Amino acid sequence: MTDQLRSSSDAPVKVLLTGANGQLGSELRATCPAHITLVSTHRGTLDMTQAEQVSTALAMHRPDVIINAAAYTAVDKAESEAESAYASNHLAVKKLAQAVSEWNANGQNAVYLLHVSTDFVFDGKQSTPYTPTDPTHPQGVYGDSKFAGEQAVQAYCPTAGIVRTAWLYSVYGNNFVKTILRLASERDALGVVVDQVGSPTWTRTLADTLWAFVVQKPLGIFHCSDNGVASWYDFAIAIQEEALALGLIKKLIPVTPLRTEEYPTPARRPAFSVLDKRTTEDRLGYKLPYWRNSLREMLMELKQKTTTV
């Protein structure tokens, strides 16, 4: 079946996108290459928890590729809303993988499923970047539900690629970068966690990778984040410095480094969630951007958006 996956870079491709109104979904809509016909769906038009809606969408749109950018992403709320988290991140993904697999068994062209997952499948106890084959050990409901989704994709859909990412931010939706920008104008000081490190990642970096994968259709698990490492504290300082230089904020406010126990949250987070991206970079044929360069570019885009509105 996998031989049926088309891989020519200039062939027209039809992509069905789920979760199109999220941070990543919005970035994918904004960056869709010309040779791709994009069918964007959101919860209102395709609720992933409704199996019949998934099968109907496949039959109606007959895509070459499905990008699953839909997910329950409220990490802390998931601890008290486990059923909702598993419904979108596990059961819906299982139904999607089964539907694609059934479709492929009956159809002429195999549909390729590109599923997005998370660094939260790891426990963060390692001190070297996690490779796609490193042992998983999710710490909370969100991570566990996403891991269950990965396992369902692997169990039911042989024509799938899974891309784990981390610490996403974007000009779209709510995220850490926008929160820091807001707090910099509302508060006189800020405390931010310093003992959790990872790689801040612009949704543009991930979208570029996913568009390349839509053409290449690699099978298995891949990691994609911006390069380099920062703590949330470093990230908060960098956001302020870059935003001040661009005139997005008027002043820097002092940031105090906090330990995780000084900022308790319902969900435990991995202390170290840096992803090893070498297999992805080999596939792409280029190095993923350095996180601070991506941050600067994102802020420039945000400035352009806010001044042209």
Ligand X SMILES: NC(=O)c1ccc[n+]([C@@H]2O[C@H](COP(=O)([O-])OP(=O)(O)OC[C@H]3O[C@@H](n4cnc5c(N)ncnc54)[C@H](OP(=O)(O)O)[C@@H]3O)[C@@H](O)[C@H]2O)c1
CB 19 within 8 A of CB 89: no
CB of 8 to ligand X, least distance (A): 28
Q: Please identify the residue of the shown chain whose CB is closest to the bound ligand X.
A: 22
Nearer to ligand X by Cβ, of 6 and 42: the residue is: 42
CB of 173 to ligand X, least distance (A): 5
Contacting positions for ligand X (CB under 6 A)? 18-19, 21-25, 42-43, 47-49, 69-73, 88, 92, 116, 118-119, 146, 165-168, 173
Place of tokens 């703590």: 231
Nearer to ligand X by Cβ, of 79 and 253: the residue is: 79
Question: Distance between CA 70 and CA 84 in Å, rounded?
Answer: 13
CB 29 within 8 A of CB 40: yes
β-pairing verdict for 230-231 and 197-198: antiparallel
CB of 269 to ligand X, least distance (A): 11
CB of 68 to ligand X, least distance (A): 7
Q: How far is CA 150 from CA 32, 92, 181, 216, 299, in A?
A: 25, 11, 34, 20, 32
Question: Is residue 169 annotated as part of the catalytic site, yes or no?
Answer: no
Nearer to ligand X by Cβ, of 35 and 61: the residue is: 61
Nearer to ligand X by Cβ, of 40 and 104: the residue is: 40
Place of tokens 């992509």: 15
- The structure tokens listed for 150 are 């990965």
Kindly name the residue from 72, 86, 130, 142 that is annotated as catalytic: 142
For helices 92-106 and 51-61, the axis angle rounded to 10 degrees is: 40
Question: Distance between CA 49 and CA 28 in Å, rounded?
Answer: 22
Give catalytic residues, as residue numbers.
Answer: 142
